[in-house]
Amino acid sequence: MEKTLSIIKPDGVRKKIIGSILNRFEISGFEIVNIKLIKLTKDEASTFYEMHKSKPFFENLVDFMTSGPCIPFVVEGQNSIKSVREMMGSTNPDDAASGTIRSDFADSIDSNIIHGSDSKESADREIAFFFE
Ligand code: IDP
Ligand code: MG
C-alpha cells in the first residue's frame, strides 16, 4: 500500500466542496488515514513549495496558499501517487480531462483546488511536513 499527500487548497475550502472532494477519494476505494485543517504561514507555504522558488508565480502561489485554511490529508491505497494525480487532472484546469477534480471545480491555473504529491520522494517529504 502506497501513501500520498493531498491538499484541498484554500479555494476548495471557500467553495464548500471539502465533502465533494473527499467523497471522490472514498468512492475510488482509497483510505484517508490522516487529515487536518490548517492555515499555513508564509514561511510554511514557502518551504512546502521551495522547489518553485525561482518561478515567476512563486509569490502569487504563497499568497494564495496562505489566503485561508487548507486541508492536508494522507491518502493510502494501491498506486495512490499516480492515481491521485490522475484524479486531480492537469495543473491548468483548461487542460484537465473531464471528470477530474480540477476540470470540475477549478477556476484557473493559480486557483486549482487541489495538490497531490508527484513522486514517492515528494510524498514522503510532504507527509512528514504536515504530519510528523
Ligand atoms: P501541480 O500542482 O499540478 O503539481 P506544479 O507545477 O507543481 O503543479 O505547481 C504547483 C502549483 O503552482 C500549481 O498547482 C499551481 O497552483 C501553481 N502554478 C504552477 N504553474 C503555474 C503557472 O504557470 N502560473 C500560475 N500558477 C502556477
Ligand atoms: Mg507539483
Cα(57) to ligand 1 centroid in Å equals 8
Per the structure block, which three cell numbers stand in for 97? Answer: 480531462
Does the Cβ of 104 fall within 6 Å of ligand 1?
A: no
Write b or e for each residue in 11-38: b if 16 or more Cβ atoms lie within 10 A of its Cβ, otherwise e.
bbbebebeeebbebbeeeebeeebbeee
Q: What is the tens place of the pLDDT at every residue in 33-44?
A: 999 999 999 999
Domains of the chain: 2-131 (3.30.70.141)
The pTM of the full predicted model, rounded to 2 decimals, is 0.98
- For this structure, is 115 an active site residue? yes
Q: What is the pLDDT of residues 49-74, one digit of tens each?
A: 999 999 999 999 999 999 999 999 99
Q: Report the amino acid identity of residue 87.
A: M
pLDDT number for residue 61: 98
Mutation probe of ligand 1 site: the residue of 91, 100, 117 with most atoms within 8 A of C-beta? 91
Torsion-angle region of residue 107: left (phi > 0), alpha (psi -120 to 50) or beta? alpha
Sort strands 2-8 and 31-35 into parallel, antiparallel or unpaired: unpaired
